[in-house]
Amino acid sequence: DTGVSQDPRHKITKRGQNVTFRCDPISEHNRLYWYRQTLGQGPEFLTYFQNEAQLEKSRLLSDRFSAERPKGSFSTLEIQRTEQGDSAMYLCASSPLAGGNEQYFGPGTRLTVT
Amino acid sequence: SQKIEQNSEALNIQEGKTATLTCNYTNYSPAYLQWYRQDPGRGPVFLLLIRENEKEKRKERLKVTFDTTLKQSLFHITASQPADSATYLCALEKDSNYQLIWGAGTKLIIKP
């Protein structure tokens, strides 16, 4: 399977704990995106990488959120000191450098903060 | 502020009929618009992209129109099937920086 993969698929954590999610994009895609989605809403942009450079970060993203893409391949999203409001589906997408920025999504990581 | 609107009410269509979904936007001049399909518990799946200089785009039973004057895109599924039941999302590029802004999606239900 050469699609976007995410790990884990589900995560249940207690408030205050740190969590880290991983995304493996389609191998030839230079761009990588992280989104958050809650029920009944569209994806909400969190951050964007072109190769290893983080080029854009949402103003909505608090300092508790950090993302890395160290070698321009896989990416990690870490949430520190989780809050109940962080409960959501976290989606990763990748796209090629050429084209119209059509994005290919992974299955998502569903986070539940108790 | 920039805004995308999709009908929040579910759209119920009889199998075999054409389903038409609407995406309206304000305060944008996007170079292109995209449509995605999302099934429950899964990530969105890219369907079609239409550029500002294209009036219409087709792919099999799908057709998208883009009216930059009305600031509206219509998404049509002809000969609809129950398997087409899903939520359909439209997305626009924000400020030419590769960040997409998304509508909330419209849930489509095709009844046999």
CATH classification at residue B69: 2.60.40.10
- The predicted-structure confidence for B57-101, as pLDDT tens digits, reads as follows 999 999 999 999 999 999 999 999 999 999 999 999 876 667 889
- The predicted-structure confidence for A40-50, as pLDDT tens digits, reads as follows 999 999 999 99
Residues of A in contact with B97 (CB under 8 A): 55-56
Q: Which domain holds residue B63?
A: 30-94
The answer to whether position B82 is within a domain reads yes
Structure tokens at A113: 């903060």
Chain-chain contact of B89 with A31 (C-beta, under 8 angstroms)? no
CA angle A22, A25, A27 (to 5 degrees): 135
Q: What is the largest CA-CA distance in chain A?
A: 42
d(CA B38, CA A76): 23
The answer to whether position B23 is within a domain reads no
Residues of A in contact with B45 (CB under 8 A): 105
The answer to whether position B103 is within a domain reads no
Chain-chain contact of A45 with B99 (C-beta, under 8 angstroms)? yes
d(CA A101, CA A47): 15
The answer to whether position B19 is within a domain reads no
pLDDT confidence tier of residue A33, bands split at 50, 70 and 90: very high
**Residue of A23, A102, A110 to mutate, interface with B, max B Cβ within 10 Å:** A102
Number of domains in chain B: 1
